Amino acid sequence: MNKLQCHSNVLQYMQKAGNLWLQDFFKLNNFSFTHNSYIGSNDTIELTADGNVNQVYGPRYAPDKDTPFEHLVFSLKYDDLYLAFLKTVFERMLAKDIEDYVASSPTGKYARRIGYLFEFLTQQKLCFSPPAALRYIDLIEEDKYITGKPVKDRRWKVNDNLLGTNQFCPIIRKTPILNELLKWDITKAIAKLKKGHSEDIFRRATNYLYKKETRSSYEIEHEKPSPDRMERFIALLEKTGREPDSKVLDESNLTFLQNTIVDPRFAASGFRDFQNYIGQSLPDFTELIHYICPPPLYLSSLMKGLKESSEKSEGAPSVIRATILSFGFVFHHPFEDGNGRIHRFLIHDTLVRDGIVPEGLIIPVSAYMLNNMKEYDQTLENFSKPIMKVAQYKRKGNAGLKVTNAHEIEAYYRYPDLTAQSIFLVQIIRETITREMPRELRFIQRYDELKSTIQSIVDMPDKDINLMILFLHQNKGNFPKRRRKKFDKLTDHEISQMEQAYRETFEISK
């Protein structure tokens, strides 16, 4: 038995607190938490294999009584905020009990937070008369969470600084990893990259990266677009950031994007009004379902909430806003086709619109995703797997299905934790800017050097030089014998010189 297993066995005999206690009390076994609290004799903390935290608090932290309210307060103090779980807990409590609890401590900040969150999540109005001269309190702590533009609630004297509304509200935790990643300045990194290369090389690299991003985005979806669809998508990418926030997520604008990038036969007239899912066809003609998309009765409000989240998150780090808008969009999956490509388009669009990436520059994140599909899939599954554990559905004709417990899974879509997705996006942007883009720029520099060297060996037409470099590059510096007829005017010695020039320029050993 390893150390982690041994510690886990010890934890099962300890007193649960906060969310874990509430989970047992209300029999909500379908939830798992990023932070699990226990009461023990000594303070200890452990990071699990899946990145979650098991924390043991000493006796002085124990709630005075084992009641839902005592453990709700403990949860708000020490556990990670999980709005979907909190909504389910509130649905099992009586509004009158909430009112009595708030009335017993009307000036208390946790009582007011509980009251406000109850109304926010359940849409039930509580009977509450605030005492005079109450000070405003923040709903969530800025040292623990990424916060949005505060909206003052005069009744509860609460600054609602969440990243969204009750229609859609992501939570993003300030984990040590995310905090460290957010210290990295994207704008300075791009400026440094541009400073080290001539304008001509940077312009040519940018043109190539637009094509690379387009090709990679389609390839992720296992599609090979026609040249005209490639050109249309590149044209869209070149115009990122030009539409105002208020228009980007409009149904009409998103439908235009969808119509532009998909096969015309699959162009949508608007957001879907049917249940869709993401699946995989198996050899026996059955379908393996990976993700159940939000039922259509929730889609309109979810998309409205995404737009409201765009407004509420103004002022947050741009890469966080890009996470919210792009991953929120793809998890809502408002179209039958094209969702993934629009999801990745929204990353670029947000970064340019927020002024973090200069207009006319592209960071080819899709290329990184394509080369790291396991990591990308895991980031998507981080959201989808908890839903798939709970979702119940019936098969319908023509490969359709109907969700039979829509109300039970609604909160998963409305209140996601997007911390993992935020970390992933910052990491791939940093990796792309610090590794992939410099590699492309170096290639263009070396290409120019090699072209000049080959021309000094034999003064050939430009198209022949480009073709020679292509053949050499495809074969790691060795000229393929089957292509000899295309260069029958060259001597073997001249071709050997060109091979040597390629290996020296690109630092490849023979």
Please state which architecture CATH assigns to domain 177-435: Orthogonal Bundle (1.10)
* β pairing state of 393-395 and 401-403: antiparallel
Q: Is the pLDDT of residue 373 over 60?
A: yes
Residues in the chain: 510
Q: Is the pLDDT of residue 4 over 50?
A: no
CA 33 – CA 293 distance, rounded (Å): 22
Q: What is the DSSP string of 172-236?
A: -B--HHHHHHTTS-HHHHHHHHHHTS-HHHHHHHHHHHHHHHHHHHHHHTT----HHHHHHHHHH
> How sure is the predictor about 510, in pLDDT bands with cuts at 50, 70 and 90?
low
CA 312 – CA 93 distance, rounded (Å): 29
Task: Write down the pLDDT at residue 8.
Answer: 56
pLDDT in tens, 256-311: 999 999 999 999 999 999 999 998 877 776 778 999 999 999 999 999 999 999 99
Q: Quick count: other Cβ atoms within 10 Å of Cβ 302? A: 23
CA 10 – CA 41 distance, rounded (Å): 12
Task: Write down the pLDDT at residue 398.
Answer: 64
In 313-436, where does DSSP find H-type helix?
A: 318-332, 339-353, 365-371, 373-390, 406-414, 419-431
Eight-class DSSP state of 417: B
pLDDT in tens, 307-355: 999 999 999 999 999 999 999 999 999 999 999 999 999 999 999 999 9
Mean pLDDT for the chain overall: 93
Domain assignments of the chain as residue spans, ordered by start? 3-173, 177-435, 458-505
> How sure is the predictor about 1, in pLDDT bands with cuts at 50, 70 and 90?
very low
What separation in angstroms does the CA of 237 have from each of 210, 347, 469?
A: 7, 10, 29
CB 400 within 8 A of CB 277: no
Instruction: Please give the structure tokens belonging to residue 365.
Output: 């994140």
Contacts of 452 (CB under 8 A, 6+ apart): none
> Residue 135 region, left (φ>0) first, then alpha (ψ -120 to 50), else beta?
beta
> How sure is the predictor about 449, in pLDDT bands with cuts at 50, 70 and 90?
very high
Task: Write down the pLDDT at residue 129.
Answer: 87
| Vertex 219: Cα angle to 215 and 223 (nearest 5) | 105
Pick 510 or 26 by higher pLDDT.
26
> How sure is the predictor about 120, in pLDDT bands with cuts at 50, 70 and 90?
very high
- The count of C-alpha atoms lying within 13 angstroms of the C-alpha of 47, restricted to the half-sphere facing its C-beta, is 3
CB 391 within 8 A of CB 369: no
Q: Is the pLDDT of residue 166 over 80?
A: yes
Q: Is the pLDDT of residue 493 over 80?
A: yes
Query: Is residue 489 classed exposed, middle or buried when 0-12, 13-18 and 19+ CB atoms within 10 A define those classes?
Result: exposed
- 0.85 cut: is pTM over it? yes
Tell me the average pLDDT across 174-202.
Answer: 94
CB 319 within 8 A of CB 356: yes
